[in-house]
Amino acid sequence: MSMDRNLALELARVTEAAALDSGRWVGKGDKISADAAATEAMRRTLGAMEINGLVVIGEGEMDEAPMLYIGEKLGRGKPGECEVDIAVDPLEGTTICSKGTNGAIATIAMAPRGGFLHAPDMYMEKLVTGPAGIGAVDMQKSAGENVLALAKAKNCNPQDLTIVLLDRPRHDKAIAEIRKAGARIHLIPDGDVAAAVAAAVEDNGVDMMIGIGGAPEGVLTAAAIRCLGGFMQGRLVFMSEEERTRASDMGITDFDKVYQSEEMAQGEVFFAATGVTNGDLVRGVRYFSNGAKTHTVVMRSKSRTVRFLETIHYFDHKPGFTAENQ
């Protein structure tokens, strides 16, 4: 199905709204309220779009999430018009936001109906680079081998590369190997979507993302990587029999499958992310007396245009934004 309008630009308004609302919660030590603010803003703005949207990656199952749950329908498109699947992470990095540290974003992706892998809420091992990694790196190789392969592909020395990983004990082996191979490391406390996308965009100071994070977020990452022409592989990591059952209920048959980005996000896809706090990919929300400035990346796979938008929002001219809630 071809989508004749550039939904990416409309998605920027959705992530901007989520960032503006959750941005008020930065540093307040309340990740639940921060996430709720982002979720409400996304739902409000998505509801106003002329789409027939279906949430396939969302805040949880219908019984555990009041908004943007899996299966929720959104938008006011005419019947049959613009049928899209939606993947959201209204606030990726809730703890980052509550502590006011680096790397929280509001993010969303869209695909034609059926375009996204219905990833269960479990772990996924991920390997992400920019276009240079294609044909060079591979999940079957060790982290050290991948550093050497990427250095060769980029025609640089391993010490010129920075590899980003979630700071978790489960990554100790990979971290040791990367250091041995000579590359630099950037450990992040949370938020591997922004980190992975930053690794796939040129000139962001990070070159490759390795390691285990959330599977639903892996699908959002895959959409961005499609738009960037980058490299991504993902493999589900099962921690229990229950997770295997849940995955097979969602239609997953091969538990060891290595997914390419094209298999996780198919067709013409759109991606947007707005910074809530500063990070490698985008800057955070900066408020001033009667408004705020946001920084957003928006892209679509069809044209591979990657736009960075700096937007000034004047609250006194926006319906829905009042002095009280802003």
Q: Which residues bind ligand VTB (CB under 6 A)?
A: 92, 166, 168, 190-192, 213-214, 217
Q: Is 235 in a helix, a strand, or coil? A: strand
Residue 136 or 139 with smaller CB distance to ligand VTB: 139
CA nearest neighbour of 166 among 139, 203, 196: 196
Helices (H), the chain: 7-23, 31-47, 94-99, 143-153, 172-181, 192-200, 215-228, 241-249, 261-264
What residue type is 96 in one-letter code?
I
Which residue, 16 or 217, has its beta carbon nearer to ligand VTB?
217
Rank residues 239 and 323 by Cβ distance to ligand VTB and give the closer one. Answer: 239
Q: How far is the CB of 229 from ligand VTB (least distance, A)?
A: 22
Closest CA to 273 of 204, 211, 195: 195
- For residue 9, the minimal CB distance to ligand VTB (Å) is 26
Choose between 14 and 57: whose C-beta lies nearer to ligand VTB.
57
Please give the structure tokens belonging to residue 219.
Answer: 């699908």
Which residue carries 């640089």 as its tokens? 156
The set of residues, in sequence order, having a beta carbon less than 8 Å from that of 284 and lying 6+ positions away, is 19, 23, 26, 104, 275, 276, 277, 278, 295
User: Shortest Cβ distance from residue 52 to ligand VTB (Å)?
Assistant: 28
Going by C-beta distance under 8 Å and a sequence separation of 6 or more, which residues neighbour residue 134? Answer: 230, 231
Give me the least distance between CB of 290 and ligand VTB, in Å please.
Answer: 33
Closer residue to ligand VTB (CB): 58 or 214: 214
Shorter beta-carbon distance to ligand VTB: residue 191 or 284: 191
Report the residue number, 166 or 281, with the smaller CB distance to ligand VTB: 166
Residue appearing with tokens 């949880």: 60
Q: Which is nearer to ligand VTB, 144 or 213 (CB)?
A: 213
Please give the C-alpha separations between residue 205 and each of 91, 136, 156, 200, 321, in angstroms, as whole numbers: 23, 20, 14, 10, 35
Helix (H) / strand (E) containing 208 = strand 208-214
Strand bridging mode 270-275 / 291-300:
antiparallel
DSSP secondary structure, 260-294, as one string: EHHHHB-SS-EEEEEESS--SS----EEETTEEEE
